[in-house]
């Protein structure tokens, strides 16, 4: 895997990717990256790999689940002609099982999650240089926590899809667990889901390392 000069990288996902991006901004323009890990990655590659002249595009939308990505995939991802696609999804697919009970909406089952993610990878892979699949995460060290157990279940499915199609899997939960072995997860998030800047830095570090661009970290 080698990210090359002028490559176009699309980041797609939920609120963690979105991170207050300006929906009215043109792709890869000021305020379009949000204030999270996509902004960190764009700033890092601009500063430390200026020769690559990468185009970094944030297509995250808060609240999205995997079925929402599928519904907008053509217009929001493929129509932008990406060289690389980075997908981070799963936390809402899990959390709605816990906080969406009284909505009486149809939940994303493990079967639907795996099938839909597989479909997105399968239809995208022939048209791009490569894909990254990022795990979801929950900022609690308690692996017996019911939500954490379900996050781990869905992350296992993300890893399974990555291995099936031979694409890059980035284990963000593992990065968070390493931190929580030393310090409280409170420093990474006050609600266990939405990261602080420190949390976004850990996501960016994991992605840049997987992309072979993390030498300056």
**Residue 201: inside a domain, yes or no?**
yes
Number of domains in the chain: 1
Distances from the Cα of 62 to the Cα of 58, 90, 161, angstroms = 12, 12, 23
Given a contact cutoff of 8 angstroms between Cβ atoms, the answer to whether 82 and 8 are in contact is yes
Residue 31 lies in a domain: yes
* Options 15, 32, 86, 189, the catalytic residue: 15
| Pairing state between β 55-58 and 8-13 | parallel
Whole-prediction pTM value?
0.96
Q: Which tens digit of pLDDT belongs to each residue from 165-210?
A: 999 999 999 999 999 999 999 999 999 999 999 999 999 999 999 9
Whether the predicted pLDDT of 2 surpasses 90: no
8 A C-beta contact, residue 131 and residue 167: yes
- In terms of residues, how long is the chain? 217
Phi then psi for 207, rounded to 5 degrees? -65, -45
Q: Is residue 48 part of a domain?
A: yes
For the record, the structure tokens of 193 come out as 């889901």
The answer to whether residue 2 sits within a structural domain is no
SS3 11: strand
* 1 pLDDT higher than 90: no
pLDDT tens digits, residue range 49-104? 999 999 999 999 999 999 999 999 999 999 999 999 999 999 999 999 999 888 88
- Whether 19 shows a pLDDT value over 70: the answer reads yes
> Do the domain assignments include residue 123?
yes
Say if residues 108 and 150 touch (Cβ distance below 8 Å): no
Is the pLDDT at 216 greater than 90? The verdict is no
Task: Identify the domain containing residue 46 by its residue range.
Answer: 8-210
**Token pair for 156:** 């296992």
Active site residue 191: yes
pLDDT of 47 strictly over 90: yes
Is residue 32 a contact partner of residue 58, using CB atoms and an 8 Å limit? yes
120-168 confidence digits (pLDDT tens): 999 999 999 999 999 999 999 999 999 999 999 999 999 999 999 999 9
Does 217 reside within a domain? no
Question: What distance in Å separates the CA atoms of residue 46 and residue 68, rounded to the nearest whole number?
Answer: 30
For the question of residue 97 being annotated catalytic, the response is: no
Residue 194 is among the residues annotated as catalytic for this protein: yes
Q: 66 in a domain, yes or no?
A: yes
Q: What's the rounded Cα separation, in Å, for the pair 126 and 111?
A: 24
Active-site residue (options: 86, 189, 194, 200): 194
CATH for 166? 3.40.50.1110
Domain assignment present for 137: yes
């Amino acid at each position: 895997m080698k990210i090359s000069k002028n490559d176009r990288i699309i980041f797609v996902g939920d609120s963690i990717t979105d991170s207050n991006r300006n929906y009215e901004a043109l792709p890869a323009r000021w305020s379009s990256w949000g204030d999270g890990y996509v902004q960190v990655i764009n700033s890092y590659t601009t500063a430390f790999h200026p020769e690559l002249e990468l185009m970094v595009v944030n297509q995250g939308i808060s609240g999205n689940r995997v079925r929402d990505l599928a519904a907008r995939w053509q217009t929001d991802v493929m129509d932008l002609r990406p060289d690389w696609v980075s997908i981070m999804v799963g936390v809402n697919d899990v959390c709605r099982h816990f906080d969406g009970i009284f909505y009486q909406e149809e939940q994303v089952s493990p079967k639907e999650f795996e099938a839909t993610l597989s479909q997105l990878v399968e239809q995208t892979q022939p048209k791009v240089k490569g894909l990254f699949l990022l795990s979801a995460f929950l900022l609690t060290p308690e692996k017996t926590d019911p939500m954490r157990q379900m996050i781990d279940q869905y992350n296992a499915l993300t890893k399974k899809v990555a291995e099936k199609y031979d694409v890059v899997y980035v284990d963000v939960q593992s990065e968070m667990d390493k931190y929580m072995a030393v310090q409280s997860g409170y420093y990474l998030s006050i609600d266990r889901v939405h990261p602080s800047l420190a949390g976004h830095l850990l996501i960016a570090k994991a992605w840049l390392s997987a992309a072979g661009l993390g030498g300056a970290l």
